[in-house]
Amino acid sequence: MYRPEDKATHACDICGKTFDRYAQLKRHKKNNHPEMSPAVPDKIFHCTQCDKSFSQRTNLKTHERTHTGEKPFHCNVCQASFTQRTNLKNHERVHSGEKPFVCEVCEKAFSQRTNLKNHENIHTGFKPFVCNVCSKSFSQRTNLKIHQRTHSGEKPFICMICNKAFSQKGNLKSHIKTHSNRATLFCRICRKVFHRKALLKCHEKTHQTERMQLDACSNSDSSGSQSEENSYYDSEQQ
């Protein structure tokens, strides 16, 4: 597992400043020493489906899969498919349980680098995710999505017992516990469980309908049999 102490230190060869990640060093040199940074290669490979261009042919081919829908990289555990090999590798950690990205502050581990970056915002206080309705900001995108439901009224979490809906999964879990404290009602015919008398009564009506249909069929069969017997008796008398 990746740990902070295992990280290499990347030093700027111009000013000597050090960085934990190579990407940080590249960004530093681009922003602070642009005259010393190598020129960015021309983007000579153009996508025929959109206006995007790339400096390498391999990057263009990877991008083109977003248009064709081709997903040549397959998970050998669940057969999920991906357009890029890196996405497959990230997915495979779901099955392996590998979490190579560790927070330097609290040592919480993550399977995806993006999840670690979002988590680090909690420690730094950085809140880059802003609600476009009320401008409230959040450190994690998931918290922003939960908040946005207060504006949209969306309630995707539904109680399977009483159909009450909630905007957050935690609220649904708390609500379900209230059902466990209620008296349990059973259907006398099929023993199906209900926690509300109104739902039980509604359910019992389905059995009443079934019984009426069976009785009608039974009466029809018995009357038919009686007619056959009478016909046979009459023929014997003749």
| Per-position b or e across 141-154, b if 16+ CB within 10 A of its CB | eebbeebbeeeeee
Q: Return phi, psi of residue 101, to 5°.
A: -105, 110
- Length of the chain as a residue count: 238
pLDDT digits (tens, 9 = 90+) for 36-61: 766 556 778 899 999 888 888 888 99
pLDDT digits (tens, 9 = 90+) for 115-161: 898 899 999 999 989 999 999 999 888 899 999 999 999 999 998 87
Q: What single letter denotes the amino acid at residue 98?
A: E
Contacts of 230-233 with CB under 8 Å at 24 or more apart are none
Tell which wins on pLDDT, 54 or 21: 54
Q: What is the pLDDT of residue 3?
A: 42
Which residues make Cβ contacts (< 8 Å) with residue 139, sequence separation at least 6? 118, 121, 122, 125, 126, 127, 128, 129
Q: What single letter denotes the amino acid at residue 12?
A: C
Residue 9 reports pLDDT greater than 80 = no
Instruction: Give dist(CA 74, CA 92) in Å, integer.
Output: 10
Instruction: Give dist(CA 231, CA 238) in Å, integer.
Output: 11
pLDDT digits (tens, 9 = 90+) for 82-108: 998 989 999 999 999 999 999 999 999
> Radius of gyration (Cα) for the chain, nearest Å?
34
Beta bridge partners of 53: 46
pTM greater than 0.75 (yes/no): no
